[in-house]
Amino acid sequence: MKGGLSEFFAMGGYALYVWGSFGATALLMIAEPLLVRQRRKAALQRISRLVRIKSEQQS
Amino acid sequence: MSGRLSLYRFSSPAAFYPLAGTIGKIAALIAVVLLAIGLYMSFFVAPTDYKQGEGYRIIFIHVPSAWMSMFIYLVMAFWAGIGLVFNTRLSSMMAQALAPTGAIMTFIALWTGAFWGKPMWGAWWVWDARLTSELILFFLYIGFIALQGSIDDTRRADRAGAVLLLVGVVNIPIIYFSVKWWNTLHQGATVSVTEGSSMGTIMLQTMLIMTFAFWAYSIAVAMYRVRSIILEREKDTRWVSELPEVRR
């Protein structure tokens, strides 16, 4: 790392390709866990509702 | 005997649910650590390539994701096959949990391939054997997800999905050996079981660390997803309604 930050980001002229690849990958690998968490939240909410309805019917 | 018994025990969704949580947590931790090391090595330790300059660094995500795209498919087909033969519910859930991750890995392999092909070959895309068969793999993942989603009856959806996956297995050796069987623009295998590696040691180490990172990531995401699938499918059971995370 002699040339500093701007040289690092320039990637020897391959900036678009290197950052286009790593950027898209990062985006997907951040989005997927978030979607998985969303799905879990939704599932738990639905089940909580189901349990509540059942207990109301019993009482 | 007890070992066999305990293995069977985990084929029940209720027993596997907490285990999946533990495996997921450990895998996520490993993934974060390995990704940090792997990314650092990708940019600061691995030397500039004498032919491709800095552009070659795409290899550190391209090859791991391409490997994972094929490997996840094989694991999915394995679980789906087990589910088809033994009618075990959990194996079909595992296949379902892996599908989106496999599709994402395939997409990453195709995307980074395009971003690597453009500067090195002068084209984002060519209809060559390696690229086309990998694209077919992507469609197989999407087809599996769509097929499962379109059938309401879970058992029938699992069965239909399993058949699709097992038929599609043919595509995996085609992808793997395509660079040998056909004349192609895509370079041959960088790492081969029979011939060893043709790359520098540090580059190879970086690529392997990134591969293990992607591996741990896939396990973590699939484990967390299978927990949701278990919840969705077993929502009417007593053990689910008694889980501490279910609010009453």
Q: Would you call B167 exposed, middle or buried from its count of C-beta atoms within 10 A (0-12, 13-18, 19+)?
A: exposed
* CB–CB contact B119 A17 (8 Å): yes
ipTM confidence: 0.90
Q: What is the mean pLDDT of chain A?
A: 90
pLDDT at position B192: 66
Mean pLDDT of A10-24: 92
Domain count, chain A: 1
What is the Cα–Cα distance from B160 to B169, expressed in whole angstroms?
15
What pLDDT is recorded for position A1?
47
Handedness of CA A9, A12, A15, A18 (dihedral sign): negative
Name the residue range of residue A17's domain: 4-58
Q: Which long-range contacts (CB under 8 A, 24 or more apart) does B191-196 make?
A: B191/B63
- Residue B216's nearest CA partner among B63, B72, B34, B39 is B34
Query: CA torsion B14→B16→B18→B20, rounded to 10°?
Result: -150
Residue from the list B44, B111, B246 with its beta carbon closest to the beta carbon of A48:
B246
pLDDT at residue B1, as a whole number: 42
pLDDT of residue B138: 98
In chain A, residues with a C-beta closer than 8 Å to the C-beta of B53 are: 12-14
Structure tokens at A10: 């320039």
Query: Which residues of chain B fall below pLDDT 70?
Result: 1-8, 191-198, 248
pTM of the model: 0.91
Verify whether the Cβ–Cβ distance A33 to B232 is below 8 Å: no
Asked if B55 lies within 8 A of A18 by C-beta distance, the reply is yes
- pLDDT in the model for residue B124: 92
User: What is the rounded CA–CA span in Å between residue B40 and residue B33?
Assistant: 11
A13 CB neighbours in chain B (<8 A) are 53-55
**Domain ranges across chain B:** 17-241
Three-class SS state of B122: coil
